[in-house]
Amino acid sequence: MIVLRVIRGITDHFPIRATEWVMMLPTFGMAVAFHLSPNMFSVSPSFESLADWGSEAAWAAVVLACGVMRFAALVINGTFQGFRLSPHIRFAASLVGIAFWSQWTLCFIQAFIELGGAPSAIIAYGTFCCMELLNLYRSGTDIRPRGRGRRHG
């Protein structure tokens, strides 16, 4: 019964939450990539700035936490209507996501400028930042109506 409720909650809200689901994929994918390639930072000068900020294991833990938080927020959202903090959790997941992807992008910008790294990652991860800004905006608009005592549909 609860499984059907979760599936229904996800499918009912998927169209408006599609960008949040999409952004969950690279976070889990990056966590898997770190575990499959624990020496990732040694293969390219583009990764040198990232290595200065933390090890592969530290980045893997952060990005995995981002993915888990986002997944939990999306499963809870819409599945349990009585749970009023759902948009707040989505907002927090978007904040964590933008914090991660913006730091990741900044490291690639630094590597490009200082070490001659490839600029392609700046475009790709910068796009992730834009997606997270959209997610932040959407979840924020879901918070405001409830805060004013109106029911959001």
99-128 per-position pLDDT tens digit: 889 988 998 999 899 888 888 989 999 999
Identify the sign of the CA torsion 72, 137, 64, 21. Answer: positive
Q: Let me know: does 103 contact 148? Beta carbons within 8 Å.
A: no
Q: Give the structural domain span for 92.
A: 2-6+18-147
Rounded distance, CA 139 to CA 92, Å?
Answer: 9
The contacts of residue 68 (CB under 8 Å, 6+ apart) are none
Task: For residue 33, give the nearest of 104, 83, 94 by alpha carbon.
Answer: 104
What pTM, to 2 d.p., does this model score? 0.75
40 within domain boundaries: yes
Tell me the per-residue pLDDT of 16-38, one tens digit each, with 9 for 90 and over. Answer: 778 888 888 888 898 899 889 88
Instruction: Count CB neighbours of 14 within 10 A.
Output: 13
| Number of domains present in the structure of the chain | 1
C-alpha distances out from residue 115 to 18, 37, 59, Å? 36, 22, 21
**Is 48 part of a structural domain of the chain?**
yes
For position 43, what pLDDT does the model report? 83
Give the CA angle between residues 141, 83, 128 to the nearest 5°. 45
Q: Tell me, yes or no, whether 152 lies in a domain.
A: no
Q: Which two tokens stand for residue 42?
A: 């040694």
| pLDDT over threshold 60, residue 150 | no
Average pLDDT, the chain: 82
| Domain assignment present for 12 | no
